[in-house]
Amino acid sequence: MFAVLLGTPDVSAQSKSGRSYYVYVCAESDDEVALVRFGPSGTEILKRISVGSFPAENEGPHGINISPDGRYWYVSLAHGMPFGSVHKYETGTDQWVADVTLGMFPATLDIAASTGLMYIVNFNLHGLMEPSTVSVVETQSMTEIAQVETGVMPHGARLSHDGRWLYTVSMMNDKLVELNALTFEVSRQLDLGNPVGNGRVGMESVEVAGLVQPTWVSRPTPQGKVYVAGNASNEIFEVDLDTWMITRQFEETGAGPYNLDVTPDGRILVVTYKKDAAVGFWDLETGDELGRITTLRTVPHGVAITTDGRYAFVTIEGVGGEPGGLEIYDIETRERVGDVEVGKQAGGVAFWKMEP
């Protein structure tokens, strides 16, 4: 059971913890990244950083993440001509450092603290329905050192805490994929849906399902689980990493669960419902949805939870020419406690730091 809170007003514009929290937010249609602070004085944009190399073209900043030591941020420019790229910036100064060209439509990314290697899914949004790859990048030199074939339209890359395993989903053939992050080999795949047919791609036959259309997978929890958003099937899968089996399916979700994140203790799941303009909060012990809040704008996209587990930062794409948004939610009370307008089609969001 859950309480549906429609149009919940902002109950506070300030951080109740007394801390300030900093996040970077992508605006895909504006080729812009915003640095936002949420703290005792409210929510404010500290800086807007233009990204990309071709001012006359929309290059589409899509995925963003912070290096484990907090010194750099990395953003994928997905559109490309034809290949996309990832760019490295210094946090604080937000000065460009380097870039690397990757595959078709590089999207989400994560960086291993143990090795410094970065893993980026090449989503191949506009290409044929054929298996695509995960790029592996050495971040000091910004050199691509490997591409690993995974599935059709890979998305939602997240590493285990020890940096040994990368988890991603293949959106158009309904698979959860585990990649050995040290040997660059696919170790396990899990079917999430039943195939509806085979799609011919050149001389090869590729099994294409698309019943589930998974879009994101969570980082592994302390309890040894990952959670997968089934965007087309309107459900969330719980997968046990020891048995590599689906242990629960949360079916009473909002329409189009898209992105999700779990609190550091593995107790609460926060998920964006892209087609329902809402954010859901799930108790992972009981399997109950604790609350669902309607967002101020339509098309919620990304979610990032702070390292202290207190707040969830949610990006809102908006539609047409309207601005995107960033909304902040208190996870314990499930109330919206801040929001700010950002650039158009806000998507990728990455938590940087908190002070003090």
Can you tell me the distance from the alpha carbon of 273 to that of 230, in angstroms, rounded to the nearest whole number?
11
Q: Tell me the DSSP string of 233-280.
A: TTEEEEEETTTTEEEEEE-S--SSEEEEEE-TTS-EEEEEETTTTEEE
Can you tell me the distance from the alpha carbon of 67 to that of 236, in angstroms, rounded to the nearest whole number?
28
The structure's pTM equals 0.92
Helix (H/G/I), strand (E/B), else coil: 84: coil
What is the structure's pLDDT at 219? 98
Strand 143-152: give its sheet, edge to edge.
106-111, 117-122, 131-138, 143-152
Q: How would residue 8 be classed by pLDDT, with cut points 50, 70 and 90?
A: very low
Helix (H/G/I), strand (E/B), else coil: 92: coil
Q: What is the mean pLDDT of the chain?
A: 92
CATH of the domain at 51: 2.130.10.10
Q: How would residue 209 be classed by pLDDT, with cut points 50, 70 and 90?
A: low
- Average pLDDT, integer, range 203-225: 81
Helix (H/G/I), strand (E/B), else coil: 159: strand
pLDDT(207) > 80 = no
What is the structure's pLDDT at 81? 76
- Average pLDDT, integer, range 178-206: 71
Q: How would residue 202 be classed by pLDDT, with cut points 50, 70 and 90?
A: very low
* pLDDT tens-place string over residues 223-274: 999 999 999 999 999 999 999 999 999 999 999 999 999 999 999 999 999 9
As for how many domains the chain has, the answer is 1
What is the structure's pLDDT at 342? 98
Q: Are 148 and 157 in contact (CB under 8 A)?
A: no
pLDDT(205) > 50 = no
What is the structure's pLDDT at 17? 79
What is the structure's pLDDT at 201? 33
Q: How would residue 46 be classed by pLDDT, with cut points 50, 70 and 90?
A: very high
pLDDT(7) > 80 = no
What is the structure's pLDDT at 251? 95
Which of 5-14, 89-98, 239-248, 264-273 shows the lowest mean pLDDT across its residues?
A: 5-14
Dihedral sign (CA 172, 176, 179, 185)? negative
What is the structure's pLDDT at 128? 86
pLDDT(170) > 70 = yes
pLDDT(5) > 80 = no
Can you tell me the distance from the alpha carbon of 139 to that of 109, in angstroms, rounded to the nearest whole number?
12
Cα–Cα distance list, 33 to 26, 208, 238 (Å) = 5, 34, 32
Which of 80-84, 324-328, 348-352 shows the lowest mean pLDDT across its residues?
A: 80-84
Q: Which residue has the higher pLDDT, 56 or 139?
A: 139
What is the structure's pLDDT at 196? 42
Q: Calculate what percentage of the chain has a pLDDT beyond 90.
A: 85
Q: Residue 124 sits in which domain range?
A: 3-355
